C-alpha cells in the first residue's frame, strides 16, 4: 500500500510510544537538528574503503552484502593499501568504523580477542581451541587471494560494526588493534576486543574513515574530494596502558597517540535551551 510508512510509524508508536521531540544530554535540551548541529559531524567528510578483486582496484563499486541495502558505493583498494589507510588514520589520531565478520571461531568477545591461528580450528580439540585464546601462537598469513576466496565462498560475511580506537604494538606477534564492541562490558577488557593484524586483513568488510585521515597519495589516486571542514571527528585520546590477557613474550606497548577515543566537543551553532532539572 502507498501509505505503508504511516502504518509502520503507527505500529512503532503503539509498541514504543511516540518519538520524543526533544531530549537532554548533559543537562542541555536538544532537538534532533540542534543536536546534529552541536556535534558538527558532516557525513560527506567520510568515505568507505574496502578490498576485493572481483571489481577493479582504485575504483568505486556497490558492495554485494545484505547490509548495503541502500546501494552505497565503496572505494576499492588492494589489501595492503587498505591496511595502510587504517594505520595512517590511527597514527593521525583518527578512529575508524569497522564492518567485519565475527561469526568465525577466531573471534571471541568473551576472551577479548580475535585471531587467525596458523593451526586450523577444525584440527583442534575443544581444549586446544580454548587454549588458543590464552597462549600466544603463530598466525596464518593472509593474502589478497585467500581473503577473496573466503568472501566468494561466503565464509566471510557482513556481520557486525565496531569502532577501532587504537593500535597495540607487540614485538613477537605483530600489531593488534584495540576495538570497542557494543555487547556490554564483557571480558577483563570491559567490552573491548584486541584484533590481530591478520584477523583484520582477512575479516574486514570495510572501513569508514574521515577523508583527512587518509594518506595523500591514496586520496589523489582515488580522486576523493576534500572534506568540507576538518573535524570535529572521532579522534584518539590520551595514552592509557592496558593489561595483556595472554602469556606472551613481551608486554603489549601502547604508542602515545593511539589509544582511547573521545568525541571532541564543539560549541553549538545556536544556543540550546538549558534544562531546569
Mean pLDDT, the chain cut into blocks of 10 residues (277 residues total): 87 94 96 93 94 98 93 97 96 95 93 92 90 87 97 94 89 80 90 94 97 95 78 40 33 35 32 37
Helix (H) or strand (E) holding 216: helix 216-222
CATH number, domain of 144, equals 3.90.70.10
**Structural domain includes residue 13:** no
Taking the C-alpha atoms of residue 199 and residue 142, their distance in angstroms, rounded to an integer, is 8
Instruction: Note the pLDDT of residue 60.
Output: 97
22, 20, 1: which is closest to 12 by C-alpha?
20
50, 49, 61: which is closest to 148 by C-alpha?
50
**Structural domain includes residue 131:** yes
Taking the C-alpha atoms of residue 114 and residue 102, their distance in angstroms, rounded to an integer, is 9
Q: Which residues contact 251 (CB under 8 A, 6 or more apart)?
A: 244
Beta strand extents in 33-159 (DSSP E only): 46-50, 59-62, 73-76, 96-100, 107-108, 113-114
User: Hey, what's the cell of 83?
Assistant: 591496511
Hunting for cell 501509505 — which residue is that?
Answer: 3
**Structural domain includes residue 5:** no
Instruction: Note the pLDDT of residue 108.
Output: 93
**Structural domain includes residue 276:** no
Domain of residue 235, residue span? 42-263
Instruction: Note the pLDDT of residue 170.
Output: 64
Instruction: Note the pLDDT of residue 92.
Output: 93
What is this structure's pTM? 0.77
Taking the C-alpha atoms of residue 161 and residue 153, their distance in angstroms, rounded to an integer, is 21
User: Hey, what's the cell of 80?
Assistant: 595492503
**Structural domain includes residue 244:** yes
182, 140, 142, 172: which is closest to 246 by C-alpha?
172
Q: Would you report the helix, strand and coil content of the chain in percent, each value rounded to 5?
A: 25, 25, 50
Number of domains within the chain: 1
Amino acid at each position: 500500500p502507498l501509505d505503508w510508512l504511516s502504518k509502520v510509524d503507527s505500529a512503532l508508536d503503539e509498541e514504543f510510544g511516540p518519538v520524543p521531540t526533544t531530549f537532554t544530554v548533559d543537562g542541555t535540551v536538544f532537538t534532533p537538528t540542534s543536536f546534529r548541529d552541536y556535534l558538527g559531524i558532516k557525513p560527506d567528510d567520510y568515505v568507505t574503503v574496502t578490498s576485493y578483486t572481483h571489481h577493479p582496484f582504485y575504483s568505486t563499486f556497490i558492495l554485494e552484502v545484505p547490509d548495503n541495502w541502500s546501494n552505497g558505493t565503496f572505494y576499492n583498494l588492494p589489501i595492503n593499501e587498505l591496511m595502510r589507510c587504517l594505520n595512517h588514520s590511527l597514527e593521525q589520531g583518527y578512529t575508524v568504523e569497522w564492518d567485519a565478520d565475527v561469526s568465525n571461531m577466531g573471534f571471541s568477545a568473551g576472551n577479548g580477542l580475535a585471531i587467525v591461528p596458523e593451526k586450523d580450528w577444525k584440527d583442534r580439540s575443544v581444549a586446544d581451541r580454548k587454549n588458543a585464546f590464552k597462549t600466544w601462537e603463530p598466525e596464518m598469513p593472509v593474502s589478497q587471494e585467500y581473503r577473496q576466496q573466503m568472501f566468494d565462498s561466503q565464509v566471510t560475511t557482513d556481520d557486525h560494526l565496531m569502532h577501532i580506537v587504537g593500535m597495540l604494538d607487540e614485538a613477537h606477534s605483530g600489531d593488534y588493534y584495540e576495538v570497542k564492541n557494543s555487547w556490554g562490558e564483557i571480558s577483563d577488557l570491559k567490552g573491548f576486543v584486541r584484533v590481530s593484524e591478520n584477523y583484520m586483513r582477512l575479516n574486514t568488510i570495510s572501513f569508514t574513515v574521515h577523508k583527512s585521515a587518509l594518506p595523500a597519495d591514496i586520496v589523489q589516486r582515488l580522486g576523493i574530494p576534500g572534506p568540507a571542514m576538518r573535524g570535529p571527528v572521532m579522534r584518539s585520546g590520551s595514552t592509557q596502558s592496558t593489561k595483556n590477557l595472554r602469556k606472551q613474550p613481551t608486554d603489549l606497548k601502547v604508542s602515545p597517540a593511539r589509544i582511547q577515543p573521545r568525541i571532541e566537543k564543539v560549541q553549538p551553532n545556536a544556543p540550546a535551551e538549558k534544562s531546569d532539572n
